[in-house]
């Protein structure tokens, strides 16, 4: 329980920092919209094409945007040696992971809150329903659980911008496949029954990697 309350303190610190300087959110949103526009150039914008490729574009965009946000969350700690401060504080390493994980999840959800309406508008698709909300939350938890772990690792290497995507993309491939297919089914007008297999994969991924990352995180930041 103490871990959890410590984690919320760390997450609120990250959110407060973000409110003060608005560094990450604005640039990640701009980046995400740019990626969507590039995809639109790549696949054309006819209504038929849009319906087919929209879920793919959306999740590829969030995977790319996630990379930026996750990297930033640890670069920020590393730059002024803040991570040293966190490690000497009387909190467990697991709490640091949870705090960063909560913060990152919150940021990605916030980015989605802005980007999805823009996306709906540009592609003329209605993205607002309960099933898509569930898919979005589950996929985001999957992205940020592994993204947070790997960002902590990448920041300790000589080429952090390179290492994070190389680790992140292969590992989150089940999330991307699951989220894309589930969203496509929902957009076709299917209900929960049709997508529950995909929801199952997303839930399994989240459960496995939140627990595994939680347990393994302390080995990454030990020195």
Partner 1 sequence: MLQGGFMKRKILFALSSVLILLSFYMVLVYVPTEKNMGIVQRIFYYHVPLAWVAFLAFFVVFICSIMYLVKRNQKWDYIAHASAEIGLVFISLMLVTGSIWAKPAWGVWWIWEPRLTTSLILWFIYVAYFIVRGYISGEERKARFGAVVGIIGFLNVPLVFLSVTLWRTQHPPLTIFSGGLEPSMLLTLLVCLFAFNFLYFYLLAEGAMMKEDEYNINLLKDKFARRNN
Residue 192 touches partner 1, criterion: CB under 8 A: no
Residue 213 touches partner 1, criterion: CB under 8 A: yes
Work out how close the CB of 135 gets to partner 1 at its nearest, in angstroms, rounded to a whole number: 14
The torsion angle over the Cα atoms of residues 40, 41, 46 and 47, rounded to 10 degrees, is: 0
Please say which residue, 57 or 149, places its beta carbon nearer to partner 1: 149
Residue 89 is encoded by which pair of tokens? Answer: 């504080």
Residue 135 touches partner 1, criterion: CB under 8 A: no
102 within 8 A of 7, measured Cβ to Cβ = yes
Q: How many chain residues bind partner 1 (CB under 8 A)?
A: 33
Please say which residue, 20 or 158, places its beta carbon nearer to partner 1: 158
Residue 51 is encoded by which pair of tokens? Answer: 């319906």
Which of 73, 76, 43, 70 lies closest to 57, judged by CA? 43
Please say which residue, 23 or 84, places its beta carbon nearer to partner 1: 84
Site string for partner 1, 143-182 (x = CB under 8 A): ---x--x---x--xxxx--xx--xx-xxx-xx--xx--x-
Place of tokens 């529950």: 196
Q: Which stretch binds partner 1 (CB under 8 A): 25-33, 84-92, 105-113, 200-208?
A: 200-208
**Degrees, nearest 5: CA angle 203-206-211:** 130
Residue 197 touches partner 1, criterion: CB under 8 A: yes
DSSP 8-state secondary structure symbol assigned to residue 22:
-
Cβ atoms within 10 Å, residue 148: 27
Residue 51 touches partner 1, criterion: CB under 8 A: no
Residue 220 touches partner 1, criterion: CB under 8 A: yes
155 within 8 A of 167, measured Cβ to Cβ = no
104 within 8 A of 144, measured Cβ to Cβ = yes
Residue 222 touches partner 1, criterion: CB under 8 A: yes
142 within 8 A of 166, measured Cβ to Cβ = no
Tell me which residues touch partner 1 (CB under 8 A).
146, 149, 153, 156-159, 162-163, 166-167, 169-171, 173-174, 177-178, 181, 197-198, 201, 204-205, 208-209, 212-213, 216, 219-220, 222-223
């Amino acid at each position: 329980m103490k871990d959890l309350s410590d984690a919320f303190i760390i997450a609120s610190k990250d959110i407060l920092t973000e409110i003060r300087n608005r560094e990450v959110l604005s640039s990640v949103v701009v980046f995400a919209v740019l990626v969507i526009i590039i995809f639109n150039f790549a696949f054309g914008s006819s209504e038929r094409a849009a319906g087919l490729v929209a879920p793919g574009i959306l999740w590829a965009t969030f995977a790319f945007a996630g990379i930026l946000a996750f990297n930033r969350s640890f670069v920020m700690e590393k730059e002024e040696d803040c991570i040293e401060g966190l490690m000497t504080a009387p909190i467990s390493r697991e709490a640091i992971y949870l705090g960063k994980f909560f913060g990152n999840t919150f940021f990605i959800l916030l980015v989605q809150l802005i980007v999805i309406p823009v996306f709906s508008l540009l592609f003329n698709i209605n993205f607002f329903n309960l099933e898509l909300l569930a898919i979005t939350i589950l996929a985001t938890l999957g992205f940020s659980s592994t993204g947070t772990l790997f960002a902590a690792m990448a920041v300790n290497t000589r080429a952090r911008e390179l290492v994070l995507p190389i680790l992140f993309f292969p590992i989150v491939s089940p999330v991307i496949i699951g989220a894309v297919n589930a969203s496509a089914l929902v957009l076709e007008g299917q209900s929960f029954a049709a997508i529950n297999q995909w929801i199952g994969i997303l839930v399994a991924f989240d459960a496995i990697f939140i627990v595994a990352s939680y347990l393994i995180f302390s080995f990454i930041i030990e020195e």
